[in-house]
Chain A
Amino acid sequence: MQKFIPKRLSGVDLFLRLFQIAAVALILIAIFNTASEARYTASQWATLLFAGLAQGSIYALIALGYTLVYGILLMINFAHGEVYMAGAFSTVFLAAYFARTGFLNEQPWLAILIMILFAAAISTIVAVLLERIAYRPLRNAPRLIPLITAIGASFALQYTFRGLYGAEFRAYPEVAILRGNMNLFGFQVPVVQPFVFITALLLMGALYWYVERTKAGKAMRAVSEDKDVAKLMGVDIDKVIVTTFMLGGALAGAAGVFNGLFRPQGVFFLMGFFPGIKAFTAAVLGGIGNIPGAMIGGLLLGVIEALGPNLILEGLGIPSANQLKDAIAFIVLVMILIFRPQGIFGERLAEKKA
């Protein structure tokens, strides 16, 4: 890699290197400060960590959608956050119906399963329509053009769902069996967090199995390696791309339900923006185009975001650090793209770019 960087940019390299050292030093100082002041107890850190893992598994599910599409089309599906919103927002009505009829508390597992399937179905439909209308006609256009369509699609989807369901926040009903705390490794943890984490891991495992062990998965990997050769080998590219969008959509829909169960604030039409960007950050963090990378990146980002304000920002003496929580993801994103654009597991991308 190093020898390809032109000599003329060496000043820039130096500056970036200094910037990198300063950033690392700042983070270490902050962590040291926080640790030496011992402001929080171990159980408080554990609470943050578990919440971060649960949130991170939601990011990971969404991030898989970005990474799958990027792996196949080398394109960032900017509107993926809206695919997630579509599933989450639509399912809140089903959940409310289940709660009203009592089904949700009589058969909670079945009800949640149906909700996840429903959300996955809605998100899948939206993702496929998105691909058909906004991306497919532009597949051979310059890269800027599908990106702009994606921004357009993002707004169109947000305000379509606002028109359909209204502008208010709507909260998911509480599920009795997910209420309360449980004892995990000696810490009190809300039941819903391990539930979300484990279910998300199962879904990710299923995806990994699908991509690595089935014939359709093999076709996907082939297209991602080389579209033209895959075509010559008899792979139906359009079908593979639609499948990719469907998988990404289904996972995003499931993530939407988890988000609803996990966060009491409720869902509304703009809810997709921040998770979308953060999941993208997670995908980049793990190395975009890399499936395990997106999973690890998501979990890592969730944890960084949960611990960051208290561990790093307060260590630097910044007041009301939690206000800056949303900025952390962006800072992580900028840092990775500056210092390690290929992400943690990003060998594949580096090859592709070379």
Chain B
Amino acid sequence: MGNINWRTILRLGLLGSVVALYFSMIGMVEDFSNRNLIGDLLNLGHVLLYAGIAGGALFAAREHSESNTVGRGLIGLATGALGALLPSGLVLLSSAINMRTVFVNVNPALSNIITFGRGVPTGLLLFVLASAVVGLITALFTVLPETWRGPVGKSFGIVIISAVFSDLVRQVLTNIIGSGMVRSLYVGDAYRPLVAAVLFVGLIALFFWLDRRAKQSNETTAIPQTDAKARQAKNRRNIALFLGWGVFLLIAPWILGSFLSQVLFEIGRFVLLGLGLNIVVGYAGLLDLGYVAFFAFGAYTMGILTTTTAINPAPGVFTFWTALPIVVLVGVVFGLLLGFPVLRMRGDYLAIVTLGFGEIIRILALSDWLAPIMGGAQGILKIPNPVFFGLELNSPELMYYLVLAGSLLAAFISIRLRDSRLGRQWMAMREDEDVAEAMGINLVQTKLLAFAIGAGFSALGGAIFAARLSTIFPHSFNLLISINALSLIIVGGLGSIPGVIVGAIALVGLPELLREFQEYRLLMYGILLIVMMLLRPEGFIPAEVFKRELHSDEDTGGPPAVEAQV
């Protein structure tokens, strides 16, 4: 253990410390500390406070891969203790002077959380000790043999994540095993400590066993299966998976209850938006930040046509269903209109101009000038719910089916478009406009079609949104909707349809489930976008094209390449 790199330890320890200080000062530690994860032993605030410290220790221990167990333990201990430096400093400073007039979140409650409620001298020592122990544990984790590290890491992750989303887990468990059993597993929102421990150990055993089995089956099936057989098995598995998902999607609202159906509705709404934007950004490569404008057009058209406002050309004639084609048509027309002036723009200019369009529409909707049409700041009220063969779709469970149908339709159209001539033209344009044009692609037509079809999807989403809420305000159509839609297709993977769904679940669904999260949602979006672009710019589920580009040397044996069809 002679060659310990103290500079690394100092750097990583301080980096962890900065992260801990950051989460403390912006108030996340305090706000999240109300959320117990495991009894009252561990809460979400603790996780945030020690996450940076543990991360620093983990990397410090990894940097010293040649050190032995004791060496790495000491390194972890030192890095962890160093990580406690800045939060401790904050506690000392805030006990000396009142910092709350400037930093609203640096208050006694925060000091209490950091010092375990024991006050300055003893509590701070405890905090340093705890940080050192956290550092020690994470450092020792790196010493574990390969076969243990995977299962332990995964199990720890699952316990924490399932505790964070205990609302969802409990709801599902209640429907399966009954509320009495569930109550015996949880105390408040948190796991009982014993339950968490059993779960942790059980999961480790499970993963260990799974790994062993996978390894054994690898050894026994050294002779490769024939291609046809393998493909058949894969097909069968895919069909089973598909049917499973189909059944789940159909019965989901009745398992999950009203609140979670509302969440599903939100996810569906953004899947619809994301699929439309995916055509514009993912396929055609046109960065559109004013996408919300078409969503607003859809919602307002639906509102105007189905209510009895003064400018409705035929009050009482249109129902949701008869208005729907008109709404989509209006969306497409506006997509063409707004697409036309920006035909010549590329990249960042296009982004800013479309952002400008979105804001202009919102400002116009708010103004007194257009108030006779769009209702001004009051918006449009009393938009009727859709009626489906005599059944009024007035609950989240029923509206879910509407948005599900819309999303499935949009997904189907997206897939067919992607594999069509037009889809290939879009992708060629995305890769290089000049070359695409030289190849004989009509850029004007191709771009306008991308804008128009994307706008149509968005307008459909807006119409469903208006019918669900019954009331629309200009404030519902702010830049954040565009940003949300953009973030989710990027996080999911540009140009990838499963990516849109995963992105919508991750960015729209999960934050809905974490009530404590709401206030920090946009902060997390921002950080996620940066981290995603730095580490995995192709997204969670990258589109085939990007995947192949990135792993061109590996033979995936997947579906026939797109190029082959061109």
Cβ–Cβ contact A163 & B347, under 8 A: no
Within 8 A of B (CB), among A134-181: 134, 137-138, 141, 143-149, 151-160, 162-166
Do A137 and B348 form a contact, CB below 8 Å, given A12-B343, A155-B522, A158-B522?
A: no
Chain B residues closer than 8 Å to A6, beta-carbon distance: 437
Chain A residues closer than 8 Å to B533, beta-carbon distance: 138, 141, 145-146, 148-149, 152
Contacts A320-B369, A330-B360 known; list 13 others, CB within 8 Å.
A19-B341, A144-B285, A148-B486, A148-B529, A152-B528, A152-B530, A156-B530, A159-B520, A159-B523, A163-B26, A280-B352, A324-B367, A341-B349
Cβ–Cβ contact B102 & A165, under 8 A: yes
Rounded to whole Å, the gap between the CB of A309 and the closest CB of chain B is 11
CA gap between A166 and B367 in the complex, in Å: 30
Interface 1/0s, chain A 204-247, versus B by CB < 8 A?
00000000000000000000000000000000000000000000
Cβ–Cβ contact B522 & A277, under 8 A: no
A324 touches which of B347, B349, B369, B522 (Cβ 8 Å)? B369
Cβ–Cβ contact B526 & A157, under 8 A: yes
Cβ–Cβ contact A277 & B530, under 8 A: no
Q: Does A8 contact B (CB under 8 A)?
A: yes
Chain B residues closer than 8 Å to A321, beta-carbon distance: 369
Q: Does B359 contact A (CB under 8 A)?
A: yes
CA gap between A330 and B530 in the complex, in Å: 27
Cβ–Cβ contact B483 & A326, under 8 A: no
CA gap between A6 and B440 in the complex, in Å: 12
Kindly count the residue-residue contacts between A and B in the assembled complex, taking CB atoms under 8 Å apart. Answer: 155
Q: Which A positions have Cβ atoms within 8 angstroms of B?
A: 6, 8-9, 11-12, 15-16, 19, 75-76, 93, 133-134, 137-138, 141, 143-149, 151-160, 162-166, 277, 280, 318-321, 323-324, 326-327, 330-331, 333-334, 337-338, 341
Looking at A134, A153, A330, which has the most chain B CB atoms within 10 Å of its CB? A330
Do A147 and B340 form a contact, CB below 8 Å, given A156-B526, A160-B523, A327-B363?
A: no
Cβ–Cβ contact A323 & B340, under 8 A: no
Rounded to whole Å, the gap between the CB of A89 and the closest CB of chain B is 11
CA gap between A127 and B396 in the complex, in Å: 45
Within 8 A of A (CB), among B331-353: 340-345, 347-349, 351-353
Counting from the closest, the 3 A-B pairs by CB-CB distance are A163-B26, A152-B529, A156-B526
Rounded to whole Å, the gap between the CB of A134 and the closest CB of chain B is 5
Nearest A residue to B101 via CB reads A93
Within 8 A of A (CB), among B348-373: 348-349, 351-353, 355-357, 359-360, 363-364, 366-369
Do A141 and B537 form a contact, CB below 8 Å, given A159-B522, A323-B369, A333-B353?
A: yes
Nearest A residue to B290 via CB reads A330
B25 touches which of A159, A163, A319 (Cβ 8 Å)? A163
Q: Does B442 contact A (CB under 8 A)?
A: yes
B444 touches which of A12, A93, A149, A338 (Cβ 8 Å)? A12
CA gap between A19 and B344 in the complex, in Å: 15
Q: Does B287 contact A (CB under 8 A)?
A: yes
Q: Does B318 contact A (CB under 8 A)?
A: no
Rounded to whole Å, the gap between the CB of A145 and the closest CB of chain B is 5
Interchain residue pairs with CB less than 8 A apart (27): A8-B442, A8-B443, A12-B343, A93-B102, A134-B530, A145-B533, A147-B351, A148-B533, A151-B486, A151-B526, A152-B528, A153-B530, A155-B522, A155-B529, A158-B526, A164-B26, A165-B104, A277-B355, A280-B352, A320-B369, A327-B364, A331-B356, A331-B360, A334-B341, A337-B352, A337-B353, A338-B342
B348 touches which of A19, A75, A93 (Cβ 8 Å)? A75
Cβ–Cβ contact B444 & A164, under 8 A: no
Cβ–Cβ contact B530 & A147, under 8 A: no
Chain A residues closer than 8 Å to B360, beta-carbon distance: 327, 330-331, 334
Q: Does B517 contact A (CB under 8 A)?
A: no
Cβ–Cβ contact A320 & B367, under 8 A: yes
Nearest B residue to A74 via CB reads B348
Cβ–Cβ contact B523 & A163, under 8 A: yes
Nearest B residue to A144 via CB reads B287
Cβ–Cβ contact B348 & A156, under 8 A: no
CA gap between A326 and B525 in the complex, in Å: 26
Q: Does B449 contact A (CB under 8 A)?
A: no
Nearest A residue to B523 via CB reads A159
Nearest B residue to A329 via CB reads B356
Cβ–Cβ contact B364 & A324, under 8 A: yes
Cβ–Cβ contact A334 & B353, under 8 A: yes
Nearest B residue to A134 via CB reads B530
Chain B residues closer than 8 Å to A148, beta-carbon distance: 486, 490, 529, 533
Q: Does B123 contact A (CB under 8 A)?
A: no
Do A159 and B363 form a contact, CB below 8 Å, given A9-B444, A164-B26, A320-B369?
A: no
Q: Does B174 contact A (CB under 8 A)?
A: no
Chain A residues closer than 8 Å to B355, beta-carbon distance: 277
CA gap between A280 and B353 in the complex, in Å: 11
Chain A residues closer than 8 Å to B340, beta-carbon distance: 12, 15
CA gap between A213 and B434 in the complex, in Å: 40
Chain B residues closer than 8 Å to A143, beta-carbon distance: 347-348
Q: Does B527 contact A (CB under 8 A)?
A: yes
Rounded to whole Å, the gap between the CB of A328 and the closest CB of chain B is 9
Nearest B residue to A330 via CB reads B356
Nearest A residue to B525 via CB reads A155
Rounded to whole Å, the gap between the CB of B116 and the closest CB of chain A is 23
Cβ–Cβ contact B356 & A277, under 8 A: yes
Looking at B344, B347, B352, B483, which has the most chain A CB atoms within 10 Å of its CB? B352
Q: Does B41 contact A (CB under 8 A)?
A: no
Within 8 A of A (CB), among B77-116: 101-105
Q: Does B27 contact A (CB under 8 A)?
A: yes
Cβ–Cβ contact B526 & A144, under 8 A: no
Q: Does B534 contact A (CB under 8 A)?
A: yes
Chain A residues closer than 8 Å to B366, beta-carbon distance: 323
Q: Does B28 contact A (CB under 8 A)?
A: yes
Cβ–Cβ contact B526 & A326, under 8 A: no
CA gap between A215 and B343 in the complex, in Å: 41
Cβ–Cβ contact A76 & B526, under 8 A: no
Cβ–Cβ contact A324 & B348, under 8 A: no
Do A323 and B363 form a contact, CB below 8 Å, given A134-B530, A155-B483?
A: yes
Cβ–Cβ contact A165 & B103, under 8 A: yes
Rounded to whole Å, the gap between the CB of A122 and the closest CB of chain B is 12
Chain A residues closer than 8 Å to B287, beta-carbon distance: 144, 147
Rounded to whole Å, the gap between the CB of A298 and the closest CB of chain B is 16
B28 touches which of A16, A163, A338 (Cβ 8 Å)? A163
Cβ–Cβ contact B367 & A133, under 8 A: no
Cβ–Cβ contact B353 & A164, under 8 A: no
Rounded to whole Å, the gap between the CB of B145 and the closest CB of chain A is 33
CA gap between A301 and B487 in the complex, in Å: 31
Nearest B residue to A19 via CB reads B341
B359 touches which of A134, A146, A151, A326 (Cβ 8 Å)? A326
Looking at B359, B360, B442, B526, which has the most chain A CB atoms within 10 Å of its CB? B526
CA gap between A337 and B442 in the complex, in Å: 22
Do A154 and B101 form a contact, CB below 8 Å, given A320-B368, A334-B356?
A: no
Nearest B residue to A339 via CB reads B341
Chain B residues closer than 8 Å to A158, beta-carbon distance: 522, 526
Rounded to whole Å, the gap between the CB of B430 and the closest CB of chain A is 10
Cβ–Cβ contact B523 & A327, under 8 A: no
Rounded to whole Å, the gap between the CB of A153 and the closest CB of chain B is 6
CA gap between A8 and B345 in the complex, in Å: 16
Cβ–Cβ contact B369 & A319, under 8 A: yes
CA gap between A283 and B367 in the complex, in Å: 27
CA gap between A149 and B28 in the complex, in Å: 23
CA gap between A331 and B360 in the complex, in Å: 8
CA gap between A327 and B360 in the complex, in Å: 5
Chain B residues closer than 8 Å to A152, beta-carbon distance: 487, 525-530, 532-533
Chain A residues closer than 8 Å to B352, beta-carbon distance: 76, 277, 280, 333, 337
Nearest A residue to B494 via CB reads A144
CA gap between A158 and B36 in the complex, in Å: 28
Rounded to whole Å, the gap between the CB of B548 and the closest CB of chain A is 17
Chain A residues closer than 8 Å to B368, beta-carbon distance: 319-320, 323
Nearest B residue to A341 via CB reads B349
Chain A residues closer than 8 Å to B285, beta-carbon distance: 144
